[in-house]
């Protein structure tokens, strides 16, 4: 090959080396989201779930959520037990009762804790000015929930027994009407109804709370078999909640607005109760002790047929949370 032919060929080769590779024109195949049903509540305790849904954090982790909403955690847990949901938010009391029934379920994380969420709100015109005045009064409560356990805890702390009062079983959504219509003299409940009832009673209302006798934990529960068979799904679910935790801490006003919209709750009410909750994804080191205390209470009052204490350590799954948030175990709460 002559020199005058070789030079153009070399230039062409060099220019070709500087050019970007041809773009990949093959269509990208979208990975389908994994569909799962989650039962959770419109209570403030479920804030991190509500935020994760609203901010699409579950979708970012490859999960498409079918929301099953309830007014309280006991009903939410029932959706899990009925295999309508794979995760459920619930306080530790309904969880404890179902472990005593023999259900093979796990708590995989706590998403909230509060020593001030449960209280008794009473009518002053029912001659109630202090806890001891509850004796002989009609008190509404929701059986098998933290409302039930807190009621007995407050009575015991004030040297009263369940036999000293008239108990009236009520659903949370029935309590406000029952108090205002004088069907009961007081109710043992939680927020948002607790604050709503107290505000509606105004000067005629009185609140009995005691953070020293009880701290509620709100939890994510799942069937043990599901957790063992779907470890990656569990981790993805928890990673979405971590994002919601970080967002809620850094953007409380927006998180409050999300809760107001999602639960159709007045924004001022959401703001008013916000500070009493500790929205953290952890596994509280006190959880086993609380579950054991509540089990003793349930057995003592014959609220269960179980007579032996379960090993609650076998009903708490920590591996998934440890994998995605190991700091959740260092001196939490």
Are the folds of 34-114+216-329 and 119-208 the same?
A: yes
Three-class HEC string of the chain: CCHHHHHHHHHHHHHHHHCCCCCCCCCCCCCCCEEEEEEEECCHHHHHHHHHHHCCHHHHCCEEEEEEEECCHHHHHHHHHCCCCCEEEEEHHHHHHHHHCCCCEEEEEEEEEECCCCEEEEEHHHCCCCHHHHCCCEEEECCCCHHHHHHHHHHHHCCCCHHHCEEEECCHHHHHHHHHCCCCCEEEECCCHHHHHHHHHHHHEEEECCCCCCCEEEEEEEEHHHHHHCHHHHHHHHHHHHHHHHHHHHCHHHHHHHHHHHHCCCHHHHHHHHCCCECCCECCCCHHHHHHHHHHHHHHCCCCCCCCCCCHHHHECCHHHHHHCHHHHCCCC
Query: Residue 78's pLDDT is what?
Result: 98
Would you give per-residue pLDDT tens digits along the chain (333 residues)?
A: 444 444 444 444 344 444 444 444 444 445 689 999 999 999 999 999 999 999 999 999 999 999 999 999 999 999 999 999 999 999 999 999 999 999 999 999 999 999 999 999 999 999 999 999 999 999 999 999 999 999 999 999 999 999 999 999 999 999 999 999 999 999 999 999 999 999 999 999 999 999 999 999 999 999 999 999 999 999 999 999 999 999 999 999 999 999 999 999 999 999 999 999 999 999 998 999 999 999 999 999 999 999 999 999 999 999 999 999 999 986 565
Q: How many CB atoms neighbour CB 9 within 10 A?
A: 10
**Residue 73, token pair as written in the block:** 């955690």
Alpha carbon separation from 294 to 81, 140, 176 (Å, rounded): 21, 20, 27
What is the per-residue pLDDT for 37? 98
CA 300 to centroid of chain Cα atoms: 28
What are the residues whose beta carbons fall under 8 Å from the beta carbon of 35, sequence distance 6 or more? 63, 64, 66
Cα separation of 267 and 37, whole Å? 27
Which residue in 306, 282, 287, 280 sits closest to 295, CA to CA?
306
Query: Which is it for strands 186-189 and 119-123: parallel, antiparallel or unpaired?
Result: antiparallel
List of residues 6+ apart from 13 with CB closer than 8 A: none
Sorted by sequence, the CB contacts under 8 Å of residue 16 that are 6+ apart come out as none
For residue 11, what are its two tokens? Answer: 């230039």
Task: Give residue 28's pLDDT.
Answer: 43
**261, two tokens:** 């919209």
pLDDT at 32: 84
* 191 beta partners: none
CATH of domain 34-114+216-329: 3.40.190.10
What's residue 333's pLDDT? Answer: 57
Domain residue extents for the chain: 34-114+216-329, 119-208
Q: 119-208 belongs to which homologous superfamily?
A: Periplasmic binding protein-like II (3.40.190.10)
Q: Could you check whether the bond before residue 281 is cis, i.e. omega within 30 degrees of 0?
A: no
């Amino acid at each position: 090959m002559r020199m005058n032919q070789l030079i153009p060929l070399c230039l062409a080769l060099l220019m070709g080396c500087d050019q970007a590779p041809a773009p990949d024109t093959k269509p990208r195949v979208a990975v389908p989201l994994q569909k799962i049903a989650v039962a959770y509540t419109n209570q403030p305790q479920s804030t991190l779930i509500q935020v994760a849904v609203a901010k699409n954090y579950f979708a970012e982790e490859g999960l498409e959520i079918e929301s099953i909403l309830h007014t309280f955690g006991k009903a939410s847990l029932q959706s899990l037990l009925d295999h309508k949901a794979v995760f459920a938010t619930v306080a530790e009391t309904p969880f404890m009762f179902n472990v005593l029934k023999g259900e093979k379920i796990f708590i995989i994380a706590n998403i909230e804790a509060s020593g001030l969420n449960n209280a008794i709100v009473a009518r002053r015109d029912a001659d109630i000015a202090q806890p001891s005045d509850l004796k002989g009064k009609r008190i509404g409560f929701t059986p098998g929930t933290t409302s039930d356990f807190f009621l007995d805890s407050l009575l015991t702390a004030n040297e009263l027994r369940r036999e000293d009062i008239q108990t009236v079983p009520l659903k949370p959504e029935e309590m406000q009407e029952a108090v205002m219509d004088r069907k009961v003299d007081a109710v043992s409940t939680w927020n948002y109804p607790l604050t709503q009832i107290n505000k509606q009673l105004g000067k005629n209302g009185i609140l009995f709370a005691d953070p020293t006798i009880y701290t509620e934990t709100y939890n994510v529960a799942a069937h043990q078999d599901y957790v063992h068979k779907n470890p990656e799904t569990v981790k993805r679910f928890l990673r979405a909640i971590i994002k919601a935790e970080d967002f809620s801490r850094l953007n409380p006003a927006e998180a409050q607005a999300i809760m107001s919209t999602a639960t159709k709750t007045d924004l001022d009410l959401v703001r008013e109760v916000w500070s009493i909750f500790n929205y953290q994804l952890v596994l509280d080191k006190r959880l086993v002790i609380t579950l054991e205390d509540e089990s003793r209470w349930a057995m003592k009052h014959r609220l269960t047929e179980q007579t032996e204490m379960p090993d609650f350590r076998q009903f708490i799954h920590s591996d998934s949370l440890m994998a995605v948030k190991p700091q959740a175990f260092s001196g939490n709460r």
